[in-house]
């Protein structure tokens, strides 16, 4: 947020992003332990917990930092909404650092090593397409809902991500900081480090597509309703 001091905005972004990863990884660990080997039940629990956390975090931190929690959202905000470019690099750095810290905290809660190298292979054209779709959809939902207020945006994003866990082949990472951090957990939410670059490249493609769609449809906030 341009009118909030950068130090305060970065603190808000750090807390929000760290809490998001605690929710994603922590709920994945709990779900896997409690689901008795039923992956569908584990994924459902993981999706619901993530969606609930997203709603709460966006409502809480949007007035402080914008609650981006995602480098792609920050870049899109700079391109579409006049978010100050001088804040982009600090935001992206704090998002990645916070995401990694969030994974470590989730591991600590469940008595796991703070950092692990994931062995969960997530790669291939189908999953890359899934990530592109997930990312494009996320940005379109954000920019299409912001004119209706923070609570509506929070609900729209939370519901979209909850659904995208299921309708995308990749389970909808849609976030480079989250992708990097999830390579450091060998739990339900993990992704093998060697697969990270492919996911981030697919997210970049999805973001580029979203920017075109947002401009073409007038969904950006500067366009007339």
- Is the entire prediction scored with pTM above 0.75? yes
Q: Does a structural domain hold residue 122? A: yes
Q: pLDDT tens, 190-199?
A: 999 999 999 9
Contact 98, 14 (CB under 8 A): yes
Sequence-distant (6+) residues with CB within 8 A of 217 are: 144
pLDDT (tens digit per residue) in 55-109: 999 999 999 999 999 999 999 999 999 999 999 999 999 999 999 999 999 999 9
- Counted residue by residue, the chain has a size of 225
Maximum CA extent, the chain? 52
Q: Which token pair is 135? A: 């990312």
pLDDT band at 1; cut points 50, 70, 90: low
Segments forming the whole domain that contains residue 142 = 6-217
Backbone angles phi, psi at 55, to 5 degrees: -60, -50
In a domain, 223, yes or no: no
Q: Residues near 39 by Cβ (< 8 Å), separated by ≥ 6? A: none
Model confidence pLDDT, tens digit, residues 27-56: 999 999 999 999 999 999 999 999 999 999
Residue 201 sits in a domain of what CATH number? 1.20.1080.10
Share of the chain above pLDDT 70, in %: 97
User: Could you give the number of structural domains in the chain?
Assistant: 1
d(CA 86, CA 97): 18
């Amino acid at each position: 947020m341009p009118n909030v001091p950068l130090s305060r905005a970065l603190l808000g972004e750090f807390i929000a992003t760290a809490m998001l990863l605690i929710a994603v990884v922590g709920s994945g660990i709990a779900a896997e332990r409690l689901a008795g080997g039923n992956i569908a039940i584990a994924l459902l629990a993981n999706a619901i917990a993530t969606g609930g956390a997203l709603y709460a975090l966006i409502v809480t931190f949007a007035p402080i930092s914008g609650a981006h929690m995602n480098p792609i959202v920050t870049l899109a905000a700079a391109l579409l909404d006049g978010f100050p470019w001088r804040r982009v690099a600090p935001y992206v750095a704090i998002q990645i650092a916070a995401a990694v810290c969030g994974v470590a905290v989730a591991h600590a809660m469940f008595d796991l090593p703070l950092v692990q190298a994931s062995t969960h292979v997530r790669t291939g054209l189908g999953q890359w397409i899934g990530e592109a779709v997930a990312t494009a959809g996320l940005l379109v939902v954000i920019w299409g809902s912001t004119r209706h207020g923070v609570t509506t945006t929070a609900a729209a994003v939370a519901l979209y991500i909850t659904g995208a866990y299921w309708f995308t082949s990749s389970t909808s990472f849609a976030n480079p900081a989250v992708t990097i951090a999830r390579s450091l957990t060998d739990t339900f939410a993990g992704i093998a480090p060697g697969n990270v670059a492919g996911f981030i490249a697919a997210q970049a493609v999805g973001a580029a597509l979203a920017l075109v769609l947002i401009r073409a449809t007038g969904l950006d906030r500067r366009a007339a309703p």
